[in-house]
Amino acid sequence: MSNLLERASILLTPTAISAAAIHSIKPNTATGDFSFTRATTATRVNSSGLIEDVAASFPRIDFTDGTGHILMESASTNLEVNSADLSTGWSASTSATASVETGITPFGVSGNIKRVIGATNSPPNWVDNADALKKQYTVSATDPASTFTFSVYVKSAGSTTVNIQLRNNTSGPSTTTGVISLSSDWQRVSVTLAVTTTTTKIGVVIAGTDGDILLSGAQLEAKVFATSLIPTSGSTVTRNKDEAGSSGDSSLMSSTEGTIYAEFAALADEGTTRSISLSDGTQNNRLLFGPHAAAGGCLVNIKTGNVLQVSENVVLSTITDFNKVAIRYKANDVVVFRNGELAASDTSVSLASADTFTSLQFDSGAGFSDFSGKVKCIAVFKEFLDNDELECLTGSGFDSFTALAEANSYTII
């Protein structure tokens, strides 16, 4: 069963991209490719663990977790105006000093970074912050969230730990990272704060606990989690969302019988549905699945003739970890496998008598509930895989890249 992916009619992995396109492995033609748009530049973590810029209209294969995946993000704005060296609006407290110096940045090149000197084991606090670096950001009711996340790359220059506080109106409720252990390598630290309706300012306090720290890549955004770094130099910057078009045609998929599989991870539990789908371009005839608004779930939804046939919320242990989900479908026989186990089944399902699916999409099938997250593999089969095959496909022992290396009936581009 190691070559199950060979049998797929459409196969997408983080293998090949180009300007305005995400290329499928199968079919190795334009029919299998997804169109792609993002009107701004963005960043990714490359296979060496370094941040690098990606030009507008180019998809991103990201290695933040050490393994390549297609990264799809919604739009976000970095409210920190000098992300590299934290040189605007930041102040050091009485017994600490801060300076901008030249060093190796998280991009792996020489550039300006921030050094904070003088920490002597004081926890960060906006009022009593004798050994900290701090900044106050002005925010307004027009910011598109009631939650803000601050993130920064930090490494030790003597201090073994760091602590960051995010404060509501500088004197109101706060959250902290807690004590984070440091090494001589850059690591990203983030802290999230739910703000009040009267919030006009966000306060950030950063402190090492027993020595110097180095900082770079600061970011404050109206999000419940930290998105990829948005570099700034003198003003705020917005990164537009990643948008993918559809792949395939009616010859590569079936609405009467088949299987769809994906290995994906949510970026956060954002309280929204993020979908991958097979459809006829409308929500009337579709099969969709993906991270669901319900905490820790994967929604599986099938409609035929605009009549809901299947609606399941399959529980995932951790929605931000990579999960493998496969849906096998035909009339009166739909099963869902999750991470090697049977998760749901339905024996009372009406499906179309003739094929209606024409596209594989990173949305609901009708242009909304766009997918955002990480994808290692999507596979569409025009056949009804049995339970043993689905258990294998979604199990921990099956690795799509190993299977690709073993397969020889198509070319990896």
Say if residues 196 and 168 touch (Cβ distance below 8 Å).
Answer: yes
Residue 266 phi/psi, 5° resolution? -80, 150
Cis peptide, bond prior to residue 27, ω within 30 of zero: yes
Confidence of residue 229 (pLDDT cuts 50, 70, 90): very high
Is 240 exposed, middle or buried, given 0-12, 13-18 or 19+ CB atoms closer than 10 A?
middle
pLDDT at 383 > cutoff 50: yes
Confidence of residue 173 (pLDDT cuts 50, 70, 90): confident
Say if residues 260 and 298 touch (Cβ distance below 8 Å).
Answer: no
pLDDT at 141 > cutoff 80: no
pLDDT at 75: 96
Q: Mean of the pLDDT values across residues 124-128?
A: 61
Say if residues 242 and 101 touch (Cβ distance below 8 Å).
Answer: no
Confidence of residue 192 (pLDDT cuts 50, 70, 90): very high
At 239-275, the pLDDT tens digits run 999 999 999 999 999 999 999 999 999 999 877 789 9
State the sign of the Cα–Cα–Cα–Cα dihedral 19, 25, 27, 28: positive
Q: Mean of the pLDDT values across residues 309-315?
A: 94
At 208-221, the pLDDT tens digits run 888 899 999 999 99
pLDDT at 196: 78
Using only C-alpha atoms, the chain has a radius of gyration, in whole angstroms, of 24
pLDDT at 276 > cutoff 50: yes
Q: Mean of the pLDDT values across residues 99-116?
A: 96
Q: Record the pTM.
A: 0.92
pLDDT at 2: 52
Q: Mean of the pLDDT values across residues 140-155?
A: 82
Residue 389 phi/psi, 5° resolution? -70, -40
Say if residues 154 and 195 touch (Cβ distance below 8 Å).
Answer: no
pLDDT at 1: 45
How far, in Å, CA of 166 to CA of 145, rounded? 16
% of the chain at pLDDT higher than 90: 72
Q: Mean of the pLDDT values across residues 112-116?
A: 95
How far, in Å, CA of 311 to CA of 208, rounded? 49
pLDDT at 294: 72
Specify the higher pLDDT residue, 297 or 198.
297
pLDDT at 381 > cutoff 50: yes
pLDDT at 143: 58
Say if residues 227 and 267 touch (Cβ distance below 8 Å).
Answer: yes
pLDDT at 309 > cutoff 60: yes
Token pair 């049995």: residue: 386
Amino acid of residue 266: A
Say if residues 130 and 122 touch (Cβ distance below 8 Å).
Answer: yes
How far, in Å, CA of 374 to CA of 265, rounded? 5
Is 327 exposed, middle or buried, given 0-12, 13-18 or 19+ CB atoms closer than 10 A?
buried
